[in-house]
Structure 1
């Protein structure tokens, strides 16, 4: 698969509007985080294990938020 959609259900109140987070698949989350910071971005949430692998939330130098995902084996 190249895309997926995961519902938030009732966890996000309706008055908060749309809630999207783009994930980019990476080979190694730690290397990706080092690259993000080397290029002027910030790590908002460090890599953590999840159901799909290790994911981290980052922001680019302009503040755009996205996630990197190292898929599980």
Structure 2
């Protein structure tokens, strides 16, 4: 199972920097980088809601599920 984080795509579409998002959401650059790079183990709903508010998107725009491939 893999959850794909489309944060970089949304930031590019909105011409917003990671620094600007960090300031508007109130999350550290380090934590935002962990999320952006898909290394996060969890995300608080309040953080997800704030990111969606700032980026004017839905959680489904930010997160996607990709089924893992199994070897034959």
Q: TM-score, length-normalised on structure 2? A: 0.28
Higher relative contact order (CA 8 A, sep 6+): 2
Task: Please identify which structure carries the higher strand content.
Answer: 1
Q: TM-score, length-normalised on structure 1? A: 0.28
Task: Please identify which structure carries the higher helix content.
Answer: 2
